[in-house]
Each structure stands twice: as structure tokens, then as C-alpha cells.
Homo-oligomer: A and B are copies of this chain.
């Protein structure tokens, strides 16, 4: 039998303090309207009774839910494969729990369902704001969120954000670093195993790749995938079948890089002697393969945390500026070497 038959409310606190519930509310919320003496008494009694505000009641009257929303429009299976998301969510959580905000997490199949979720949340007043990930080129979510008046922070490049608040990492600089690294080792032919071309991040990286390879006078080719290990392996086979064969391959995530590594080695090619491999998203995977993988490292946990802080700031009325979180750092490991011959 639960021992919480009698729930603690501000009415109870008011009774014990001999004041009205309204006064208690003022006291607990640190607002003017009560004397310091009364406030102290109220706070003490509230602490003694272990009072906790009822979220629903507060939300109903104050019209804020103290909840942020995050929709992931990917299959559950993709989420299993991508370590990226769990880290991001963990970072979001770490900030929210500090200020007793909650996270509403929804996993849906596609963008249309994601839009429905936003509409529902807006109607229900379910969340105070949302974090939008996997930004697309010409993203339809931007217009919907604007129309709904839903505060949002987009995770992605300002060129994709159409003026909405956003937090981004400098993928262009990162791509430059990777290609300059490869070029400086003497490679002349490189391949890029990219994610889905409709994803904004991929589009940005594609452009950066094109520009950098042109500038560095590298022969180059891009293979698009759905980010999965399976397609990463297939793209690697396609890349290795080209003439001239690329001597360096840059991947869009580390799962595909690891899958690609196995494909390369399976064709009796050596890494890094025959092929240099560079990964993106430096999860522990990159450190446990043989050879270990050169990777563009960024802190997904910190990224999630920073995005969340940015959204919370925006909710307090601060006009949000596009905010560069960081530039992925190139970590050079065993999979980098000069090309053969």
C-alpha cells in the first residue's frame, strides 16, 4: 500500500503557515508580494513536507510545460546502429535534468509523421520548444514550426536554417582538414562515401568535398548511401571498382567506415598501405579496429548539451543568434598513410 495517501499541496502548506494559498505560491516562486519572514516560513514548511510542485497543475495555469521536444525521424533500427543519437540525447538530458525540465522524445518513421507530432504538441501545449535534427535541404519543418509559433533550435548549418535559430558545427572546415591531410600525404584520387543526399549535412559536406578536391586538384567521386553499414560496404566495393582506384576514402560516419574497412581488407588490400581510411563521428568504434581509424572527432554529448542550452536561452526571450558549436577535429590514427607507389 502506498504511503502517499495524503499528497502535499500548497493548500496544505498554506494551512500550516496560516496564510492563503496565493501567498504560498508567491513565496515559493520567489516573487514579490510576501514578506521575507513569511517567505522563509513557507519555504521551511515546504521543505519539511517535501513538497514538489504538480507539473500538470503548473502547466495548466502557467501555460508552460517545462518540457522540450525531440523527434527522431529514423527507423528504430537505424537508431540502434548510430551511436550518434544516444550521445546527443544524453547531452540534452544532462542539461535538462539540471533545471528540472523534461524531455519528450518521439521516434517516428518519416518527416510527415514528424510534422504531425509538432502539430499535436503545439495543440496540446505539450512542449515549450523543440530541437530539430537531421536538417534537410529546403526543410519543410521550418515553415510548419514558424506557423505554429513553436520555439525551436535547428541542429545544422545557418545556410539551411532559413533564419531560424540554429547551432552548427563547421563541416566545411572539417572536410577541408580531412582532404588537406589526405592530399598532403600525396593521395591524388579520393572517394567519399556519403549519407543521404537530401540531408542538409550531407549536402554541405558534398559541396565542401567538391570545392576542396577541386582546389587540391584531386580526382574525386561521391557515393551516396543511407548511412547503414550495409550500404557503406556496398559503396566501398563500388569505389574500389573504379579506375583509377581511389587510394583514400572519406566516410560520413564511423559505422560505414568500419564496414568499409572490412570490405577493403576482404579484397586483400591493406589499410593504410593501399588505402587510407578517414571516418566521421569519432565514436569508440574508431579506436578498436585494426588499424585504428583516422576520424573527424566531435563531442556529440557536448553538442546535445549546447543545443539544449541554446533553446533554453531562446525561451527566456534572448534573441538567438546562429551559434557555431565547434569544428570537428581531425584525429590522425593508424589508417592514414602515403599512397602506394
Contacts and interface: CB of A to CB of B under 8 A. Distances in A.
Interface of A: 1-4, 7-8, 50, 52-57, 59-60, 65, 75-77, 79-87, 89-91, 93-94, 97, 102-108, 120, 122-126, 147-149, 228-230, 233, 255, 258-259, 262, 265-266, 283-285, 287-290, 300-301
A55 B122 CA distance: 11
B52 A124 contact: yes
A288 to B, nearest CB: 4
A93 B107 contact: yes
B301 A289 contact: no
Contact of A83 (B7, B65, B80): B80
A252 to B, nearest CB: 15
Given A53-B124, A60-B57, A104-B102, A94 B81 contact: no
Contacts of A50: 123
A72 to B, nearest CB: 8
Contacts of A105: 89, 93, 103, 105
A1 B149 CA distance: 6
A85 B258 CA distance: 21
B52 A120 contact: yes
Given A60-B54, A258-B288, A76 B106 contact: no
Question: Chain A's interface: helix, strand, loop or mixed, by majority?
Answer: helix
A255 B83 CA distance: 12
A125 B94 contact: no
Closest 9 CB pairs of A and B: A2-B149, A76-B90, A80-B87, A52-B123, A56-B59, A93-B107, A259-B288, A56-B60, A86-B86
Contacts of A120: 52
B300 A125 contact: no
Given A55-B124, A80-B86, A86-B85, A108 B97 contact: yes
B290 A262 contact: yes
18 contacts: A2-B149, A3-B147, A3-B149, A52-B123, A54-B125, A56-B59, A75-B90, A77-B87, A77-B90, A80-B87, A89-B107, A97-B108, A102-B106, A103-B104, A258-B285, A259-B284, A262-B288, A265-B290
